Amino acid sequence: MTFDWTAAWDALPQLLDGLVVALWATVLGYVLALVLGLAFALLRRTERAWLRLPVGFVVEFIRSTPLLVQLFFLFFVLPAVGIELSPLATGAIGLGVHYATYTSEVYRAGIDGVPAGQWEAAKSLSLSRGRTWTRVVLPQAVPRVVPALGNYAIAMFKDTPQLTVVTVAEVLSVVKAVGAQNFRYLELITVAGVLYLAAALLIAWPVRALERRYRKETA
């Protein structure tokens, strides 16, 4: 089979549109993962068992089940109880909630890395629990874990092809749709792979920059 450059070029605009959708799903899901992951991490440290235990169960349950199953649940089960989401919203929420369970562990590691003396100093100054977290602990914990959080952005983007099961029109969905018409899967998969690689490298660049900056600051 010879490589048909014309077929690859003709499919490029549609594949680029799919890439934009994949990037949108990644951005929306990543923001949700960062916010929800922090909430999970804080709730799992609360002294209130009625909050800590259920949140811990939810985090472990989500982390221990496949993303694909969770996407099916959001898209096919929730409408049965009256909750209907668009494909893109389903994909973004699915990615965000799934990865929030991982970012929560990253936040936990950062919080555990704050020296005990900082907690004791805040207590000696009679700071409230809220001010201790917002003024002392989190400003020290979050910068420590920024590189690790950035790596999850790359991992999340590479999981966007799974969104094809909930009809999100990302790159793989475009490959399947266009391939069903012209049967030029070699060209479509090749171009899709190049686009995924280019986008992943683009996302990885600021992550690597943050890693280098953090290493310099801690050296």
CATH number for the domain that contains residue 80: 1.10.3720.10
* Per-residue pLDDT at 60: 95
* CA-closest candidate to residue 97, choices 62, 64, 72: 62
Please, which residues have CB within 8 angstroms of residue 148's CB and are 6 or more apart in sequence?
Answer: 106, 109
pLDDT, one tens digit per residue, over 128-170 is: 777 888 888 888 888 888 888 888 999 999 999 999 999 999 9
Rounded to two decimals, the pTM is: 0.90
Tokens (6 digits) for 162: 């799974």
Q: What does the alpha-carbon distance between residue 123 and residue 116 come to, in Å, rounded to a whole number?
A: 11
Identity of the residue numbered 122: A
Range of the domain at 76: 5-218
Give the Cα separation of 14 and 172 in Å (integer).
Answer: 11
Count other C-beta atoms under 10 Å from residue 162's C-beta.
20
Dig out the tokens for 38 from the structure: 């922090």
pLDDT (0 to 100) of residue 141: 82
* pLDDT for residue 1: 65
Residue 175 has pLDDT above 90, yes or no: yes
The pLDDT of residue 75 is: 94
In the chain, how many domains are there?
1
* SS3 at position 168: coil
